[in-house]
Amino acid sequence: MSERKRTYGRRLSTLLGERPKHEVREAGRWHERILEGLDFSAVDNIKQHAALTDGELARLLGIGEATLRRARAARTKLDPATSDRLYRLSKVVAVAEEVLEGANNAMQWLRRGQPALGGAVPLDLLVTQAGADEVETLLRRIDFGVYT
């Protein structure tokens, strides 16, 4: 495995609250973890790391702010659908940090309208898998120097 893939894997595992020694390396393992439900601590990790408000986070996870607050208070595991949305968000943030060389650069880019996305704000597109795919594809194109 290349150093770059290891770095990405560690970043994704950290964003989702996995300790480095328990880094999830295989896609199938993430699938299983998502079906089991990720720990709520992963929500707080990405919120703090990406400097998201509760409103932004709730919208990206497809839940109401009140539901987010109740889940935070109860510290319950997330349901599979919410876990999947959190994984999607964390994956794009990890890719953006890898490509744009740092958390600050990544979050600035994710919060600004991008001409290659028709002026859409990448963070706003992450509410659907199709939108997340578009953002990740653009990031990969930037990484390979094919930004249009």
> pLDDT tens across 44-97, in order?
999 999 999 999 999 999 999 999 999 999 988 999 999 999 999 999 999 999
How high is the pLDDT of residue 147? Answer: 66
pLDDT at 1 > cutoff 50: no
At 5, the pLDDT band (50, 70, 90 cuts) reads low
Q: Positive or negative CA dihedral for 14, 35, 110, 70?
A: negative
Which amino acid would we find at residue 6? R
Q: How far apart are CA 11 and CA 84, in angstroms?
A: 17
The stretch 19-29 carries a mean pLDDT of 56
Query: For the chain, what is the domain count?
Result: 1
Residue 47 lies in a domain: yes
- Flag whether 33 is in a domain: yes
Greatest Cα-to-Cα distance within the chain, rounded to the nearest angstrom: 45
Sequence length of the chain is 148
SS3 26: coil
Provide the residue range defining the domain that includes 39: 3-143
Beta bridge pairs of residue 77: 39
78 is a domain residue: yes
**Domain presence at residue 91:** yes
In a domain, 139, yes or no: yes
pLDDT of residue 87: 96
Whether 148 maps to a domain, the answer reads no
Q: Considering the entire predicted model, what is its pTM?
A: 0.85
Determine the residue type at 62. Answer: G
Alpha-carbon gap, residue 118 to 104, rounded angstroms: 23
